Amino acid sequence: MTTTPTSGAASPPRIADAAMLPSGAETAATSRRRRTRGGAYWQAAPMALVFLLFFVLPLVVVLVVSFWQYNSYSITPAFVFDNYAGVFDGCLASLPSLCTTFATYLSTIKFCLLVWATTLVLGFTIAYFLAFHIRTTTMQIVLALVCIIPFWTSNVIRMISWIPLLGRNGLINQILVGSGLVDHPVEWLLYSDFAVTLAFVHLLTAFMLVPILNSMMRIDRSLIEAARDAGASGAQVLWNVVIPLSKTGITIGSIFVVTLVMGDFITIGVMGGQQIASVGKVINVQTSYLQFPLAAANAVVLLIATLGIIFTLTRFIDIRKEL
Amino acid sequence: MAISDETKTAAVSRRSLLKAGAGLAGAGLATRLSAFPTPAIGAEPVTLRYLSTATNQSPAIAEKAMEEAGVKIEYVTVTTDEVAKRIITQPNSFDLVDSEYFSLPNLVPSGNLMGMDAKKIKLADKITPVLTKGTIDGKDVGSQGSAPWKYFYLDGRHSKKFAEAPTEWMTLIPTTYNADSLGDRPDLIDGEVTHWSALLDPKFKGKAALINIPSIGIMDAAMAIESSGQFKYKDKGNMTKAEIDKTMEILTKAKKDGQFRAFWTDFNQSVNLMASGEVVIQSMWSPAVTAVRSKGIKCTYLALEEGYRGWASGFALPRTLRDKKLDAAYEFINWFLSGWAGAYLSRQGYYPAVLDTAKEKMEPYEWAYWYEGKPAEKPIKAPDGTVIEQPGAVRDGGSYETRMSRIACWNSVMDENEYLITKWNEFVAA
């Protein structure tokens, strides 16, 4: 589980580093270029070392262990594909009904899509409002802070605070029953897909909002004026000017949201009453029963799946170029 | 399994205070000890790093141990799973560990624990026969699952095999044990619950919860399934693949029909589910019932016809422990069995390994309430002095004999554990 968020958080700065290297060097003379290059490598070295130690190395260990053998009290070096076979056990045989792994991924991807779409609409709308409808910078900063300050509290606390609100005897149900709108408390508010999606949207909207806002603030206002002058309607300006120029923010926000949802097991566990599967929870159960190689294989599959989604996302936009 | 439970409930402030104190003192001592391993420092107390869940950890016990046995205890608090993981992966990170019997089949083959010398345990022959032989008052206790007496002795000090007959080398010296059952909210339920089958009774649709720890959850489910007459197990604690399949099929159907409101993994979750009324019946640990009740909410720890699921934990020593630390560990264990700690834990609702010594340290009215199933003569107090029961109250489940004699199965790790975990993940995903 730990690998996925790391990879998500780690990618943007690494791309940024890589992009900086050649651009400075190309214009310089050959002799100077060599020196600048060397200097740039030295400058990048501390960061690279940190990545090597805390990102690449653990990842390699996970990869290596995923091919090992295990029993209930030890793991032994080997090179077998048993763990991967275990992850996909019965997946082909049981078609068309889904095996555990497919069902789990399907459920996780469903949340991914739901949360991504909702946070995108919310994040984009709020960012648009902040960027184009608030006139003074002070007010913009104040309102942006209003959006972000709640995120200074712990994830878990923000999530758990929904429970007294949504529960069978919670505030919403008390109001609904008290006002006579329903006879019995509404059960699907808590420990349901709805509750999980709600909590995710609550937790992750800021991750979408901030990059989009950042992109929008950098849009040259004269472009919008030009579009207006050329006779574009509000919708046309939005579709042909604002959205294309916000694509970087949208993509980065999407990467955050997708990787966080894919790797999560706490939100799904708490808000879903532990009755909804998530890949993270499967890995968690396996590690607690000391099935490290199997858990590692699962983590590698999850990493590949997440990277696949991010790869697809980056097809829509070349982040390096835009940055 | 009432072990990973109180990790959070046991007063954090007390524990952290103690940790800070013992930690500071311990750090200084440990370095001195290793630097000058001479008899000259014999007067200094030895520090033991005590790894376990919070269940048996208490600053009061550590304080008393320092005072009476001259051993400094430095608690390392983790969850049940983490205890097992540490023994396997970091066997040098503790000097004394409190683990559960059902983990032993996984721990002993690793060779990281040593057999404990029964001759050095003064009260070894006074340990309750419930755990050593599986009998109480000459009657047999249910032996399904990883019953403690099956894993009580090793072939030799460093053996990786369990002994068939009693030997000099003990795997664990029991600390606490008890029996788990279902808990309910009598104020939200019509009629009385008398059978485990209630867990799967459609009457409680959407209001039942199950523990989400595969090896234990499946046993609670098996108790319910057997009680409802749908299926009979040969050994609920060691199911065959076919039995696991059958159990999971019934559970999955119940889940799809909306029987369960939620699953829970830790003590606090079970307390919250019950206290908030989200759930009216669920797998429950005896201290969790007390916790719900202490909020002024009615909650019963059910004495069901089919009996209880038992669990037991005990002290083990890492293989590498030697010299002063080893002596100090035996010293501490002997002290632990000598009564004060047993009386202390009894007031939390657990049972100690040696009953006679605990009895000496308890008031007669306390003993009558906690062990004899008699109505309380005076207000019953928890170890910290808060009143938990008024005069006249009777302990759920009755006397020690009644409870222990009705254990039907024990927490266990099955031979088909791997298969079970796969199936359990499938059940959660269903």
pLDDT digits (tens, 9 = 90+) for A125-140: 999 999 999 888 899 9
By three-state DSSP, how is residue B128 classified? coil
The minimum CA-CA distance between A284 and chain B, rounded to whole Å, is: 11
The minimum CA-CA distance between B108 and chain A, rounded to whole Å, is: 9
Q: Are residues B36 and B174 in the same domain?
A: yes
The mean-pLDDT minimum among A8-17, A216-225, B335-344 falls in A8-17
Q: Are residues B331 and B234 in the same domain?
A: no
Q: Are residues B301 and B415 in the same domain?
A: yes
| Mean pLDDT score, B320-326 | 89
| Mean pLDDT score, A83-89 | 88
Q: Is residue B218 part of a domain?
A: yes
Under an 8 A CB cutoff, do A274 and B429 touch? no
Helix ranges restricted to H, chain A: 3-25, 30-51, 57-65, 82-87, 100-128, 137-148, 155-160, 163-166, 171-178, 193-217, 221-229, 234-237, 243-263, 266-271, 279-288, 292-316, 319-322
pLDDT over 70 percentage in chain B: 90
Pairwise CA distance, residues B288 & A148, whole Å: 38
Reported confidence tier of residue B224, pLDDT bands at 50, 70, 90: very high
Q: Are residues B184 and B221 in the same domain?
A: yes
Please report the pLDDT score of residue A11 as a whole number.
40
A3-322: CATH superfamily: MetI-like (1.10.3720.10)
Q: Are residues B332 and B418 in the same domain?
A: no
Number of domains in chain B: 2
Instruction: Quote the crossing angle between the two packed helices A193-217 and A243-263, to the nearest 10°.
Output: 140
Of all residues in chain B, the one with the smallest CA distance to A70 is B418
Residue B23 has pLDDT above 50, yes or no: no
Q: Are residues B194 and B265 in the same domain?
A: yes
Q: Is residue B91 part of a domain?
A: yes
Residue B211 has pLDDT above 60, yes or no: yes
Q: Are residues B221 and B330 in the same domain?
A: no
Reported confidence tier of residue A36, pLDDT bands at 50, 70, 90: low
Pairwise CA distance, residues A112 & B171, whole Å: 48
CB neighbour list of residue A166: distance below 8 Å, 6 or more residues apart? A172, A173, A189, A190, A195, A198
By three-state DSSP, how is residue A126 classified? helix
Reported confidence tier of residue B2, pLDDT bands at 50, 70, 90: very low
Closest CA to B286 of B391, B181, B374: B181
Pairwise CA distance, residues A37 & A43, whole Å: 10
Please report the pLDDT score of residue B12 as a whole number.
42
Under an 8 A CB cutoff, do B106 and A73 touch? yes
Stated as kind and residue range, the H or E segment containing B151 is none
Q: Is residue B12 part of a domain?
A: yes
Q: Are residues B292 and B355 in the same domain?
A: no
Closest CA to B51 of B318, B300, B233, B301: B318
pLDDT digits (tens, 9 = 90+) for B371-411: 999 999 999 888 878 788 889 988 888 899 999 999 999 99
Q: Is residue B374 part of a domain?
A: no
The minimum CA-CA distance between B365 and chain A, rounded to whole Å, is: 40
| Mean pLDDT score, B41-45 | 63
State which residues form the domain around B124: 5-178+310-359
Q: Are residues B126 and B220 in the same domain?
A: no
Q: Is residue B425 part of a domain?
A: yes
The mean-pLDDT minimum among A35-44, A303-312, B203-212 falls in A35-44
Place of tokens 């998500």: A8
Reported confidence tier of residue A30, pLDDT bands at 50, 70, 90: low
Q: Are residues B316 and B417 in the same domain?
A: no
Place of tokens 């005896």: B286
Q: Is residue B397 part of a domain?
A: no
The mean-pLDDT minimum among A26-35, A46-55, A193-202, B148-157 falls in A26-35
By three-state DSSP, how is residue B282 classified? strand
Stated as kind and residue range, the H or E segment containing B113 is strand B113-114
Reported confidence tier of residue B35, pLDDT bands at 50, 70, 90: very low
Closest CA to B129 of B142, B138, B121, B119: B138
Please report the pLDDT score of residue B194 as a whole number.
92
Mean pLDDT score of chain B: 85
CA distances from B37 to B44, B46, B323, B327, B359 (A): 12, 12, 9, 14, 39
Closest CA to A320 of A251, A222, A274: A251
Q: Are residues B261 and B207 in the same domain?
A: yes
Residue B328 has pLDDT above 60, yes or no: yes
Under an 8 A CB cutoff, do B421 and A289 touch? yes
B255 touches chain A (CB under 8 A): yes
CATH of the domain at B198: 3.40.190.10
At residue A251, what are phi and psi to the nearest 5 degrees? -65, -45
Please report the pLDDT score of residue A33 as a whole number.
59
Closest CA to B3 of B85, B100, B97, B82: B100
Of all residues in chain B, the one with the smallest CA distance to A280 is B425
Pairwise CA distance, residues B378 & B362, whole Å: 13
Pairwise CA distance, residues A187 & A167, whole Å: 8
Q: Is residue B367 part of a domain?
A: no
Please report the pLDDT score of residue A16 as a whole number.
42
Under an 8 A CB cutoff, do A74 and B421 touch? no
Q: Are residues B232 and B330 in the same domain?
A: no
Higher pLDDT, B4 or A182: A182
| Mean pLDDT score, A155-182 | 88
Under an 8 A CB cutoff, do B260 and A282 touch? no
CB neighbour burial string for B100-115, b if at least 16 within 10 angstroms, e if fewer = bbbbbbbbbbbebbbb
The minimum CA-CA distance between A49 and chain B, rounded to whole Å, is: 27
User: Hey, which bits of B226-279 come out as E strands?
Assistant: 260-264
Q: Is residue B412 part of a domain?
A: yes
Residues of B in contact with A167 (CB under 8 A): 276-278
Size of interface A-B (CB pairs under 8 A): 82
Last residue in a domain, options B300, B333, B359: B359
Sort B386 into a burial class: Cβ within 10 Å, 0-12 / 13-18 / 19+: exposed
Residues of A in contact with B278 (CB under 8 A): 167-169, 190-191
For chain A, report the end-to-end CA distance as a whole number of angstroms. Answer: 29
ipTM beyond cut 0.90: no
